Amino acid sequence: MKLELHRVKIHKLAWGKETSARDGLLTVNKEELLTMLRKDERLAKVDLDFASPGESVRILPVKDVVEPRYKMEGPGGVFPGMVSDVETVGEGKTLVLSGAAVVTTGKIVRFQEGIIDMKGPGAEYTPFSRTCNIVVILENTEDLDKHDYETACRMAGLKTAAYLARKCLGAAVDSVETYETPNLKDAMAAHEGLPKVAYLYMLQSQGLLHDTYLYGVDVKKILPTLLNPTEVMDGAIVSGNCVSACDKNNTYSHQNNPIIHQMFKRHGKDFNFLGCIVTNENVTLADKKRCSSYSINLAKTLGVDGLLISEEGFGNPDADLIMNCWKAERAGIKTTLLTDEYAGQDGASQSLADSTPEGDACVTAGNANEVVVLPPMDKVIGVPEEANVIAGGWQGSLAEDGTITVELQAILGATSELGFTKLGCYTI
């Protein structure tokens, strides 16, 4: 499969008579976009706003972030099974509005949504302080079921992202990135002497609004499967999660998964990257055993020498992560784990809910319980009072002057287990 990402760089946002991109400026026809979104009868109110890097703006609570993309050429369409048909994607040409992001906000399950600050100390923890954000502000109709509201919010974000990119199909392209993967027969015979490596891609699927979708299917309903990395870039994986903001893999981070991008860069040099094994994180022990065993059996069938395993979430999914680790290691497959930690505000507690001696190669995205103080912003898009009830906050987190004291858990993408984060470390 060969996929070309045609990137149109966006540096500024403005309202205008037509939606278009030119010279780094994304102009949006506000009324046209609102008319499209207001067709969903599950939403009582829809509005739009902008939030750009460096502005004194806070967005709270955030549900999802989506990068605007649209198919220029090739089979299928972006977000298959959601806003386009369920044809297989990952080939052809896709337009990307690079630097722009669609951010959805609105009360859903409240305690599981997060914060984006566009400047100040909070901006140092979220990657979305650097994107030009088109914020979709959503309010549900009275007595609407939370699952229906989540669906309406999810679809509003995806439709907005597809609309923006579709309207910019004629824009001048700034750069083109090409990603190509051979069929499995050729891949297995390529790069003799290099270890064969696959990516075990764990997706949140605990239910109760802890959901992820693959080609429109709730992944808790699937057995682990092999996925081409370029399919992920075309929106085959979509977030439906209302989980802790710091390590929620929003749709934007799936589209730009840094693990996949880095493995492409090292493919043919350090190892032979064979693709992604997509698995889920269910709640029952039987489901965990079934999907873990099936995932590792897929890896054994491929004959891989190593697995990079990324988690999504914490607590219950730690059991899936560790089970995948020791089952792979005992099958002779070396593993590296990518997770984050919940080590308490003082950093002295056990970081993961489970462990194994085989888990001796682990990358951490940071301690989500670390406390930060976010100064007041001149403008808040959303509902600032949610700071008192979101995960990582508490009653009294929001001060009268607008200052918010929270754990990193409350900041979107602060400890991303895909490595889509601004945290890092160095040796002293």
Distance from C-alpha of 186 to C-alpha of 52, rounded to nearest angstrom: 45
Task: Flag whether 21 is in a domain.
Answer: yes
Q: Of 302, 339, 301, 303, whose CA–CA distance to 320 is shortest?
A: 339
Are 198 and 276 in contact, with CB atoms under 8 Å apart?
A: yes
Instruction: Please tell me the pTM assigned to this model.
Output: 0.96
User: What's the confidence (pLDDT) of residue 327?
Assistant: 98
Are 198 and 58 in contact, with CB atoms under 8 Å apart?
A: no
Distance from C-alpha of 382 to C-alpha of 91, rounded to nearest angstrom: 38
What is the average per-residue pLDDT within 158-167? 98
- Region of 216 on the Ramachandran plot (φ > 0 left; ψ -120 to 50 alpha; else beta): left
Q: What is the mean pLDDT of the chain?
A: 95
Task: Flag whether 247 is in a domain.
Answer: yes
Going from the C-alpha of 15 to that of each of 92, 98, 103, 168, 302, the distances in angstroms are 31, 18, 17, 14, 51
Tell me the pLDDT tens digit for each residue of 206-236: 988 899 999 999 999 999 999 999 999 999 9
Please enumerate in sequence order all residues whose Cβ is within 8 A of that of 204, keeping only pairs 6 or more positions apart, or say none.
Answer: 210, 211, 212, 241, 243, 248, 249, 281, 312, 313, 317
Give the total number of structural domains in the chain.
1
- Region of 43 on the Ramachandran plot (φ > 0 left; ψ -120 to 50 alpha; else beta): beta
Tell me the pLDDT tens digit for each residue of 237-252: 999 998 899 999 999 9
Domain holding 85, by residue range, is 2-177+193-410
Task: Flag whether 424 is in a domain.
Answer: no
For residue 96, the cross-strand partners are: 7, 69
Q: Of 260, 254, 251, whose CA–CA distance to 102 is shortest?
A: 251
Task: Dig out the tokens for 336 from the structure.
Answer: 């590296």
Q: DSSP H helical segments within 195-250, as ranges?
A: 229-233
Task: Flag whether 182 is in a domain.
Answer: no
User: What's the confidence (pLDDT) of residue 108?
Assistant: 78
Token pair 């951490």 is at which residue?
A: 364
Q: Does the structure show a pLDDT above 70 at 111?
A: no
Distance from C-alpha of 30 to C-alpha of 10, rounded to nearest angstrom: 17
Task: Flag whether 427 is in a domain.
Answer: no
Confidence of residue 110 (pLDDT cuts 50, 70, 90): low
Tell me the pLDDT tens digit for each residue of 265-292: 999 999 999 999 999 999 999 999 999 9
Active site residues: 242
Task: Flag whether 426 is in a domain.
Answer: no
Q: Of how many residues is the chain composed?
A: 428
Task: Flag whether 188 is in a domain.
Answer: no
What is the average per-residue pLDDT within 168-177? 97
Tell me the pLDDT tens digit for each residue of 89-101: 999 999 999 999 9
Give all strands of the β-sheet with 212-214 in edge-to-edge order: 217-218, 212-214, 237-239
Task: Flag whether 217 is in a domain.
Answer: yes
Please enumerate in sequence order all residues whose Cβ is within 8 A of that of 264, keeping only pairs 6 or more positions apart, or say none.
Answer: 179, 229, 273
Distance from C-alpha of 216 to C-alpha of 403, rounded to nearest angstrom: 39
Are 261 and 98 in contact, with CB atoms under 8 Å apart?
A: no
DSSP string, 60-88: EEEEEEE--EEEEESSS-SSBTTTB----
Task: Dig out the tokens for 361 from the structure.
Answer: 């190669």
- CA within 13 Å, CB half, 308: 21
